[in-house]
Amino acid sequence: MNANPLVILFYLAALIAIVASIKVVTRNNTVHALLYLVISLVAVAVCFYLMGAPFAAGLEVIVYAGAILVLFVFAIMLFGLRQDETRLAPKNTGFSVWLGPCVLALCLLAELVYVLQHDGIQAQLSATVVDSKQVGILLYGPYLLAVEIASFLLLAGLIAGFHFAKPREQGGDL
């Protein structure tokens, strides 16, 4: 197979993304997990770029890694959560806890792969870049309603976040 360096790069990034995601799930240290999540996201962004979606890649890094996860860091700093203290509870240690969910997830994966195989997806990703202009035209054309709804969602998130996080006079209930 005539290995194109960009294709190899894609697989590399995918591998990094998977490994980093596994680390996210298994780490004890919150910040380490978060850093792995950043790495995973950046790797996925690289994948996006290589798949011909540079705009999405940029947004992935700017919004996801650069804003949403910073929020996480911020929250962790506020909580002072250095370690996952819940792991100290006796129940949640050892291999057995991971076994069931992993089997479940593998079943899920197997099923999905089977479906994909079964449908015989032969399509190849086209190398053509879908640039931001096309995205923009689509967003503010046929998807205008979705944009509006998303903006409402964000507004709702803003209000909810403000409401929950504002200090209460006397032990108000959640």
Cβ atoms of residues 69 and 37 within 8 Å? yes
First to last CA, the chain: 59
Which of 12, 44, 95, 148 forms a contact with another protein (CB under 8 A)? Answer: 44
Q: Indicate whether 21 belongs to the interface with another protein (CB under 8 A).
A: yes
- Least distance (Å) between residue 28 CB and another protein: 9
List, in sequence order, every residue forming a beta bridge with 83; answer none if it has no partner: 29
Q: Indicate whether 18 belongs to the interface with another protein (CB under 8 A).
A: yes
Please, which residue, 134 or 169, has the CB nearer to another protein? Answer: 134
Q: Indicate whether 153 belongs to the interface with another protein (CB under 8 A).
A: yes
How many residues of this chain interact with another protein, rule: CB under 8 A? 122
Please, which residue, 169 or 174, has the CB nearer to another protein? Answer: 174
- Least distance (Å) between residue 169 CB and another protein: 14
Which of 46, 81, 148, 170 forms a contact with another protein (CB under 8 A)? Answer: 81
How far CA 117 is from CA of 76, 113, 122, 167, in Å, comes to 42, 6, 9, 53
Which residues, including other chains, have CB under 8 Å from residue 110's CB and lie 6 or more apart?
none
Segment 99 to 128, residues that bind another protein, using CB under 8 A? 100-102, 104-109, 111-118, 121-128
Which residues, including other chains, have CB under 8 Å from residue 20's CB and lie 6 or more apart?
36, 37, 39, 40, 43
